[in-house]
Chain A
C-alpha cells in the first residue's frame, strides 16, 4: 500500500511540471479544434504584422491571463461575449467610457 502510494506520488510529481507547463503555455496545437486552429493561424498572421514592442506587450499580457484562476479567465471570456453582443452604438459607447474611466484612475 505504502509502495503504491509512493509510486503515485512520484507519478504526480513527474506530471506536475507538465501540468504547470500546460497551465503556463496553454494547450498543445494538436488539442485545438480545427476552428480554433484556423482562428489561431489568422491571429498569428495579424500578430506578425505588429511592431515588436506590441508583440512583447501581448506576450506579457498572455502570461498575466494564464496566471489568472480559471474562473477569472472564464469571467473575462463572458465579458468579451457580452461586448460582442452589444449593438454597434453601445460598443462605441463602451470604448468611450473606457477612455474616460482610464483617465480618472
Chain B
C-alpha cells in the first residue's frame, strides 16, 4: 500500500469505519512506515480536539418561546383544516355516529340521483391505476389525513407535469429500479468497489 492511500483511510480508521480487510492493510503499512504513523497520530490528535469542542449551545428563552409559538400556530392551522376533528371535539360520540350515518344516507341518495357528487373532481368512478390496482373512491365522510390545504390552483410547475411529482420516488431512483434484479444478485464482499475504494464526492 502506498502512503497516499494509507492517509486517505486514516480518518475512517480513527472513526472505526474502515472494513476489517482495509484495517489490516493499513496496520500492515503503518508497521513499516514511520511517517504514516506520525501522520496518524496527528489525525488522532486533531479529531480528539474536534470532539473537545462544545457540541451544544445555550438556547435562549426567546428562541424556545418563538419556536413553540410557531408550532402552536401550525397545530391550530392543522386543526382548522381537519373538519372531522372539529366535529368530534364538540359532538358527543353517539350524536356524531348518528350524524355520520345521516350524511352517508344523504350522500348515497345524491349520488344515485345525479350520478355524481357535486363539486367533486372530474374522475370519481373507481379507477385502475398504472399498477392495475383498482383505487377506491375517496371517502365522502372523512377528509384526507393531511392537515395542510391543497392550493386551489396548482403551481405552474406542478400543473405542467403532475406525474413527475406523483412518481417522484420512482424517478429519483430510476437507475436502481431499472437494474433491480442485477443489483439484487450482486454479492457484497471486501473487494473495493472502485480502485481506491472512494466514490467521487458530489461537491464540497
Report how many residues on chain B are interfacial, defined by Cβ distance under 8 Å: 50
B144 and A34 within 8 A (CB): yes
Sample (23) of A-B pairs whose CB atoms are under 8 Å apart: A28-B159, A30-B123, A32-B121, A32-B162, A33-B121, A35-B135, A37-B154, A40-B165, A41-B150, A41-B165, A42-B146, A43-B165, A58-B168, A62-B163, A74-B132, A76-B180, A77-B130, A77-B131, A77-B167, A81-B131, A93-B188, A94-B183, A100-B188
A58 and B162 within 8 A (CB): no
A66 contacts which chain B residues (CB < 8 A)?
Answer: 163
Interface string of A16-40 (1 = CB under 8 A from B): 0000000001111111111111111
Q: Which 7 A-B pairs have the closest CB atoms?
A: A103-B193, A26-B163, A40-B165, A79-B180, A43-B168, A101-B186, A43-B165
Interface string of B158-192 (1 = CB under 8 A from A): 11111111111111111111111011101110001
Bound-complex Cα distance A81 to B133 (A): 12
A34 and B164 within 8 A (CB): no
A78 contacts which chain B residues (CB < 8 A)?
Answer: 131
B193 contacts which chain A residues (CB < 8 A)?
Answer: 99-100, 102-104
Interface presence of B157 (CB below 8 A) = yes
Least Cβ distance of A61 to chain B in Å? 5
Q: Which of B144, B162, B173, B178 is in CB contact (< 8 Å) with A26?
A: B162
Binding site for B on A (CB under 8 A): 25-44, 46-47, 58-59, 61-62, 64-66, 70, 73-74, 76-83, 93-94, 96-104
Interface string of B124-168 (1 = CB under 8 A from A): 000101111001001000001010001100110111111111111
Least Cβ distance of B130 to chain A in Å? 6
A41 and B182 within 8 A (CB): no
Interface presence of B4 (CB below 8 A) = no
A32 contacts which chain B residues (CB < 8 A)?
Answer: 121, 162, 166
Q: Which of B144, B159, B174, B187 is in CB contact (< 8 Å) with A61?
A: B174
Bound-complex Cα distance A29 to B163 (A): 8
A25 and B144 within 8 A (CB): no
B155 contacts which chain A residues (CB < 8 A)?
Answer: 44
A94 and B184 within 8 A (CB): yes
